[in-house]
Amino acid sequence: MNPAPAHRPTWLNALAGVAVLSALVGAWAGLRLSPPDVNQGELIRVMYAHVSVAWVSFLAVAVAAFAGIAFLWRGTRRFDALSVAAAETALLFGALTIVGGMTYSKPTLNTFWTWDAKLTLTALMVTLLAGVFIVRGLIDEPQRRGRVSAVILIVVLASLPLNYLAAEWFRTLHPAKSIDLTGGGVTMDPTMLTVLLVNVVAAALTFAWLLAERMRISLREHDLEVRRTREGPPAGDAVRV
């Protein structure tokens, strides 16, 4: 495995700049370009951030789980690092999804939280993602640590279809989807759809930036750990008899 660069590469700086710029464009479009909704009025603007981070949290879980599967198959350190980096980002975006949902729910339903199916499954997803890092902190052996966390991430991945379809399969307060990938089509206003997709791209670019940065840091830490193991403790730390 090639050593990780000590300094942040130029392409990663460029990706960070593009991600920040796209997020600003998405925020401007949501606040200024989008018209108010017929039923929800100005509150619809919260939806652009909420839906974007929710979709990308699903993407991050998928990346983490498939990287975990690759680690179970090959046992390569790089796959474990990718799985952990994606899981960290999934945890962040999952938490933002819950915060956005609560912000959206209070004015519309007069409550921050209801234990309906979709909200409960999202909370379970975030809890399991947090559990990945609790488990990793309890296991010292790298291979076993990677295998256990990979299994948890596979369980989280298996729950995503249920989470996506919860609003249709169960009695829930969550609004019906305006973009239905199961055959319902798109019922959203074209301008609103464009603004939403801009924000989804911005969230995806932010995910790619955070993922790449976390991977670089993780591999760098691994390189330093290997180097310290090979060189042994500093001379000043030697035990005198």
Domain assignment present for residue 3? The answer is no
Q: Among 4-13, 175-184, 222-231, which is the least confidently predicted range?
A: 175-184
User: Would 230 be classed as within a structural domain?
Assistant: no
Out of 21-35, 98-112, 168-182, the most confident range is: 21-35
Is residue 70 in some structural domain? yes
pLDDT over 70 at 93, yes or no: yes
Q: What are phi and psi of 4, to 5 degrees?
A: -75, 145
Q: 201: domain range?
A: 12-33+43-174+187-224
| Window from 8-17, 189-198, 213-222, 229-238 with minimum mean pLDDT | 229-238
Looking at the domain assignment, is residue 95 inside a domain?
yes
Q: Which CA distances in Å does 110 have to 167, 174, 236?
A: 19, 13, 64
* Sequence-ordered list of residues with C-beta below 8 angstroms from that of 207, at least 6 positions apart, any chain: 56, 59, 60, 89, 93
Flag whether pLDDT at 44 surpasses 90. no
Q: What is the pLDDT of residue 76?
A: 87
Q: Which of 120-129, 178-187, 212-221 shows the lowest per-residue confidence on average (mean pLDDT)?
A: 178-187
Number of folded domains in the chain? 1
Range with the poorest average pLDDT among 30-34, 52-56, 183-187, 207-211:
183-187
Using the structure block, give the residue that is written with the tokens 């980096």.
85
Max intra-chain CA distance, the chain: 81
Structural domain includes residue 38? no
Listed ranges 1-10, 27-36, 120-129, 202-211; the one with the highest mean pLDDT? 202-211
CA distance 82 to 149: 12
**Residue-averaged pLDDT of the chain:** 84
- Distance, CA of 173 to CA of 120 (rounded, Å): 12
pLDDT category at 178 given cuts 50, 70, 90 is: low
Higher pLDDT residue, 90 or 188? 90
Lowest-pLDDT range of 57-61, 80-84, 130-134, 224-228: 224-228
| Residue 241 tokens, joined | 């008899």
Residue 217 maps to a domain: yes
CB 109 within 8 A of CB 83: no
Instruction: Please answer whether residues 93 and 53 qualify as being in contact, where contact means their C-beta atoms are separated by less than 8 angstroms.
Output: yes
Residue 199 covered by a domain: yes
Tell whether 207 is covered by a domain. yes
Task: Let me know: does 118 contact 159? Beta carbons within 8 Å.
Answer: no
Q: Is 41 left (phi over 0), alpha (psi -120 to 50) or beta?
A: left
